[in-house]
Amino acid sequence: MNRLLLFLLISSSLIAAGGCTVRKNTSATRNYQAFITRYNVYFNGKEHYDETVAAMEKDYQDDYSRLLPLHPAEMRGNGEFPQPAGSFTRSIEKSQKAIQLRSIKKRPRREPGHKNDPEYREWLKREEYNPFLHNAWMLMAKSQFMDGDFLGAASTFFYITNHFTWLPSTVTEARIWLARSYCAAKRVNEADAVLKRVRTADLTNGTLKGEYAFVRAEIDIARGRYAEAIPSLKEAARYASGRQSQRLRYLLGQLYLREGNFPEARREFEKIEKTPSAPHAMRFNARIRRSEAITGSDIDRKTMQDELKSLGKLARYESNSQYLDQIYYAMGNIYLATGDTAKAEESLAKAIGLSQRKSTDMALAAVALGNLYFRTARYDKAQPNYAMAVNILPENYAGIKELREKSDILDKLAVYSNTIAVDDSLLRLAELPRPEIYAIVDKKIERLKKEEKERLEREKERLEQARNQPIAVSGTTGQAIITPQIRPAGAETQWYFYNPTLREQGKQEFRRLWGNRRQEDNWRRSERNNPAEFTDDPAARQSGDLTELSDTLPGIYTREYYLKDIPFAEEDKLKLKAQIADALFEMGLLLKNELDDNASASAAWLRFLKEFPDDARRKDVLYNLFMMASADNKNSDAQRWREMILSEFPESPEGVAVKDPRYIDHLKEMNANQEKLYEDTYRNYLENRNGKVLENVAFARKNYPLSPILPKFIFLEALTYVTAQQPLKVSELLREITEKYPSADVSPLSAEWLRQLDSGRQLAVGEGNLTGWMQTRLFADSAAVSTPTPQGLDFAFDENAPHFVLIAFPADIVDPNSMLFEIARYNFNTFTVRDFDISLNRYGRIAVVRLAGFDNRQDAEHYHTLVSSALPPLLPEEARVVVISEGDFNLLLNGGRSLADYLEALEMKTDTDVHRAVLPDNEYPSPQEMYGEFDDEPDDSTQPRQE
């Protein structure tokens, strides 16, 4: 009771002393406004924020087959994932109301005797005198973030870092959340740049340490640097609580798993399993993921048997029928760990066959089975499993690029393998008596007829079931009700191919009806015309059974249809043998260069040498066999191939090379040392040690004359002569690159610089080597070095004007032509209707890919988000994306300023916009009142300030 009376007395005193106006700035009014702000509007907004965040973290349905997001709110920027529930509009409105009603901008009356006190002078220069109001700004920014307005939140956090500089902890927290906002908006480079401004000494409490570790982990994960993310994620999980702590622990287990740290992965997943408060789905999936972390080296056999028994019990429960794919997938992983590949193959096949959802879990089983076949060189069986997986897995699945590449390689390999099998079978058929050939053909025809009849019966049964399906009828109109396709809440109305959710629904429906089909002609048919089926030789049958023939011609049931492909004439036999030779040669190259399968490549090339001894490619085959044997330390075989090369092709480049008995040793030394040497050379260049650069380049020229990266050494040599102001030497070296190494990645840039020098232009010369590319000045003539206008630039920032998207990068690190090609290819694959004008410009060291065709800033920002979040990543870490209006870009060029100048001006404009969006202009003090120097003001001790 006494505390309540004291509270009322203090409140009454504050009201009596200061009133409720923000036009006065006294100690009483400041304390009163802080008190009202905290326990009135802000309190309600903060309560709503905390409750909504807690509900979002608790109720969000995670997809445990993918890397979990660090927080559900970040999924608001990704339409392919389920969207979290909850609106933060109320918290935003409450924060804005608190700022609008309780902000104290007016400077206080000066106290006599403090004119020379630096701390007092700084206090008078503050832009906000309500000591609690920074909390309202932070609440508004965090609410914007949780609501999915990541760029709006970034603007507000940026404002806080500029306008509350006297609160270092608040500035540090705002800077961390600014980085988090950029990362959620898929602008990882910007996020990293912001977070690097946070020093360890700034992290003064547990909250800041946890938030910093959270964002550091998020940036590393976005870049695929899982090993670097693990320590930060562990730190973030230590400071988290509740469901958020469980999510981070599960994600930590996933990262350990990807990095091959299986003991730590098992430990994290076991913690989740034994956490009663964790949701059932998370604990079940932790149980499945734990099976992926079991290896024979650190788990005894009895433990593995216990694991298998436990999973077998799970499979028998009816309630787990929809999770059989995950259970058998886990069992397959354990069998793989024990080395029982037969049981593993059986379990993984069950996981695929029993899958009811055709989801990511089924795809993971297909990948595991494909890997098993791949390791045992059963490429014909690995290929369909990889093809199935890449058609199901999402575009942002980690490793999808490698899977696609492997699947594409196996596609090519299957073509060559099938060519050899078919042509071999046809040649064998041609040697048989005609009656035997007719018998094989007739047997084939009878089988096809039987399969077609069975297929038609199944189709008839399916149609009959479809007719008997009940149709809902409207009770009021008597019309059949067609259930519309469900669209997620908040999904935009847009064309089908621009909506990732609708596209995914279409993919799932296609797979439900047709299964997993490759993108090719005649995809409805599971087999093409394959004469390999004519033979009884199992080795010749590699293309499956023909089961769907609804679109075939009647001729498929006649002998003539098949007999026409059999090579009875000698000319036709020679043609097929030539096809076999081509297939064997190309198959060997694929197996060696793409799959690193030297044993299988050797088998293909040995047959090539035996059956086609006079082929013009014999020299290439012998050289490859020599290189593979040397790499595998098969010295006797290597010597055998070396002698054959010297005997048959002594004057060829290969013959001259292998004459040196230490040829292989020289190659190994070059491969091991050249990359380290280049890294050292480039580091010395950045540190302006040009003497060491020239020394390293001379060493590379002498010892690695055939190195594929020698042109990069020469380019660095040319750059050192730029700094030394020797244009003739620069031209000489650039010309050497373009003439001797036209296909090198630095050749296009060298050619452009050479053209500029030959036309009389001069390269920019500074005090040191070219390093700070974002500060490079841009000029309208794209090459001349002139003096920029001394006056500052007055950018218009017209958001409704046509805009450019600039993708800027250092041209000496990133190849401009390759960057141009990749962006053009991305646009072609992503935008089927829209087209953008794309051009490449160079401004000294900086290269800029400019895209035009955007109606306004919002349109350009949308493209910025798309290109920054492309998976696999499209832009290198060195690239920066700048959105700028056409008028401001022309002003930038004519003024001779850098992109860094424009970004700085944009930041200041953003800062002002945030302030004016919350506080109207008439709430601002005058510039003289806010920033005026003391000496220009009357002394308050003799002339009181009017309130």
Which of 260-274, 418-432, 626-640, 771-785 comes out lowest in average pLDDT? 771-785
User: What does the alpha-carbon distance between residue 20 and residue 16 come to, in Å, rounded to a whole number?
Assistant: 9
Which of 445-454, 692-701, 827-836 comes out lowest in average pLDDT? 827-836
The whole-number pLDDT of residue 236 equals 94
Which of the pair, 205 or 17, is modelled with greater confidence?
205
The whole-number pLDDT of residue 21 equals 58
HSE-CB at 363 with a 13 A cutoff on CA atoms is 23
The whole-number pLDDT of residue 34 equals 81
The 10s digit of each residue's pLDDT in 841-859 is 877 667 888 888 888 888 8
User: 3-class DSSP state for residue 839?
Assistant: strand
Range among 14-18, 283-287, 461-465, 938-942 with highest mean pLDDT value:
283-287
The whole-number pLDDT of residue 38 equals 84
User: What does the alpha-carbon distance between residue 70 and residue 217 come to, in Å, rounded to a whole number?
Assistant: 9
Which of the pair, 299 or 822, is modelled with greater confidence?
822
The whole-number pLDDT of residue 176 equals 95
Which of 281-285, 336-340, 725-729, 868-872 comes out lowest in average pLDDT? 868-872
| β-strands 803-810, 837-843 pairing | unpaired
Please answer whether residues 106 and 925 qualify as being in contact, where contact means their C-beta atoms are separated by less than 8 angstroms. Answer: yes
If pLDDT is split at 50, 70 and 90, which confidence band does 215 have?
Answer: very high
The whole-number pLDDT of residue 519 equals 54
If pLDDT is split at 50, 70 and 90, which confidence band does 532 have?
Answer: very low
- The percent of residues above 90 in pLDDT, for the chain, comes to 16
The whole-number pLDDT of residue 26 equals 76
Mean pLDDT of 321-346: 85
Q: What is the CA radius of gyration of the chain?
A: 35
Omega prior to 613 cis, within 30 of 0: no
The 10s digit of each residue's pLDDT in 821-830 is 888 878 877 7
On average, the pLDDT of the chain sits at: 77
Please answer whether residues 632 and 598 qualify as being in contact, where contact means their C-beta atoms are separated by less than 8 angstroms. Answer: yes
Burial class (CB within 10 angstroms; exposed 0-12, middle 13-18, buried 19+) of 947: exposed
The 10s digit of each residue's pLDDT in 724-737 is 888 888 889 989 99
**pLDDT at position 2 over 80:** no
The whole-number pLDDT of residue 298 equals 61
**pLDDT at position 776 over 70:** no
Which of 17-31, 276-290, 323-337 comes out lowest in average pLDDT? 17-31
Q: Tell me the β-bridge partners of 807.
A: 849, 881
**pLDDT at position 20 over 80:** no
Return the structure tokens found at 697: 């380049």
What ranges in 848-938 are assigned the alpha helix state H? 857-868, 886-895, 899-918, 927-931
Q: Tell me the β-bridge partners of 473.
A: 480
The whole-number pLDDT of residue 752 equals 76
Which of 405-409, 428-432, 526-530, 798-802 comes out lowest in average pLDDT? 526-530
Helices then strands, counting H and E runs in the chain, come out as 38, 4
The whole-number pLDDT of residue 833 equals 61
Which of the pair, 926 or 371, is modelled with greater confidence?
371
User: What does the alpha-carbon distance between residue 379 and residue 34 come to, in Å, rounded to a whole number?
Assistant: 72
The 10s digit of each residue's pLDDT in 609-660 is 999 999 999 998 998 898 888 888 888 888 899 899 889 988 887 777 777 7
> Edge to edge, what strands does the sheet with 880-885 contain?
837-843, 846-854, 803-810, 880-885
Place of tokens 């010297």: 646
**pLDDT at position 390 over 60:** yes
**pLDDT at position 218 over 90:** yes
Which of the pair, 913 or 243, is modelled with greater confidence?
243
Please answer whether residues 718 and 751 qualify as being in contact, where contact means their C-beta atoms are separated by less than 8 angstroms. Answer: no
The whole-number pLDDT of residue 466 equals 64
User: What does the alpha-carbon distance between residue 721 and residue 495 come to, in Å, rounded to a whole number?
Assistant: 55
Q: List all residues 6 or more positions away from 865 whose beta carbon is below 8 Å from its beta carbon.
A: 77, 185, 186, 187
User: What does the alpha-carbon distance between residue 427 and residue 531 come to, in Å, rounded to a whole number?
Assistant: 11
If pLDDT is split at 50, 70 and 90, which confidence band does 503 have?
Answer: low
CA angle 352–355–359, rounded 5-degree value: 95
The whole-number pLDDT of residue 73 equals 92
Mean pLDDT of 810-817: 78
**pLDDT at position 789 over 70:** no
Mean pLDDT of 902-922: 71
Mean pLDDT of 113-117: 67
User: What does the alpha-carbon distance between residue 63 and residue 692 come to, in Å, rounded to a whole number?
Assistant: 53
The 10s digit of each residue's pLDDT in 454-498 is 888 877 877 777 666 554 443 433 444 334 344 433 334 444 444
Which of 154-168, 723-737, 874-888, 932-946 comes out lowest in average pLDDT? 932-946
The whole-number pLDDT of residue 927 equals 43
Q: List all residues 6 or more positions away from 930 whose beta carbon is below 8 Å from its beta carbon.
A: 105, 107, 125, 127, 924
The whole-number pLDDT of residue 781 equals 45
**pLDDT at position 931 over 70:** no
User: 3-class DSSP state for residue 840?
Assistant: strand
Which of the pair, 687 or 152, is modelled with greater confidence?
152
User: What does the alpha-carbon distance between residue 51 and residue 69 come to, in Å, rounded to a whole number?
Assistant: 20
The whole-number pLDDT of residue 617 equals 92
**pLDDT at position 213 over 90:** yes
User: What size, in residues, is the chain?
Assistant: 947
Q: Which phi-psi region, left, alpha or beta, contains residue 433 (left: φ > 0; alpha: ψ -120 to 50)? A: beta
**pLDDT at position 139 over 90:** yes
The 10s digit of each residue's pLDDT in 691-737 is 899 998 998 887 676 677 888 889 888 888 887 888 888 889 989 99
- The percent of residues above 70 in pLDDT, for the chain, comes to 77
